Amino acid sequence: MSMLEKISFAACVAVALSTSAMADDKNGLGTNVGLGQPITESDIKPWDITILPDGTNLPPGSGTAVVGAKLFLEKGCNACHGEGGTGGSNGAVITDIPLAGRGIEATKTIKNFWGSSTTVFDFIRRAMPWPAPRTLTDDEVYALTAFILEGNKLIPPGTVMDAKSLPQVKMPNKDGFIIKFPDRI
């Protein structure tokens, strides 16, 4: 066997094995191709932006609705989400539309539908403002999150949002979901 054939043979074995072997971690069998370059979690940090519902990976920092209200104007959020976040071409982020009684075409809102408050922080930091995403500081994202949650009456006025308080916000529709195919998870 040439070197190349050996490599691709080993690789095929790796593929064949991987499905069954993965669960109990057979890394180290020497069956993998091994072309990945090692990197440390701290070097990945700038890209590691996803927040889990239990608050895992929420950054340090904090913010309140008063600051958030100002930012909502300054950062141009109102251009697409209406004055005070209550409408606009890309939809209200603060609204009282109910979910029930409107059938399947009910409007899903942060207040009536979203199952986790962490999604608000994650999505604003990741994707907003739409024309310049990932330009907000973490404090700014906490403040905008506080503004939206407070406007939706999901937190009492003046509540500071930070890594500890945000995951504790009770979302009204948290238990409104049915897992469609539990066996696939």
d(CA 30, CA 24): 15
**H or E element at residue 62:** strand 62-63
**Contact partner, 75, from other proteins, ligand HEC, none, Cβ < 5-8 Å per class:** ligand HEC
Which one, 126 or 153, has the nearer CB to other proteins? 126
- Candidates 81, 142, 143, 171: give the one binding ligand HEC (CB under 6 A): 81
Q: Which residue has the tokens 């004055």?
A: 83
Residue 158's contacts (CB-CB under 8 Å, 6 or more residues apart) are: 64, 65, 66
Which one, 17 or 169, has the nearer CB to ligand HEC? 169
- Candidates 2, 25, 60, 156: give the one binding other proteins (CB under 8 A): 25
Which one, 73 or 127, has the nearer CB to other proteins? 127
DSSP 3-state of 63? strand
The answer to whether residue 166 forms part of the interface with ligand HEC (CB under 6 A) is no
Burial of 92 (0-12, 13-18, 19+ CB in 10 A): buried
The answer to whether residue 184 forms part of the interface with other proteins (CB under 8 A) is yes
- Candidates 108, 158, 164, 168: give the one binding other proteins (CB under 8 A): 108
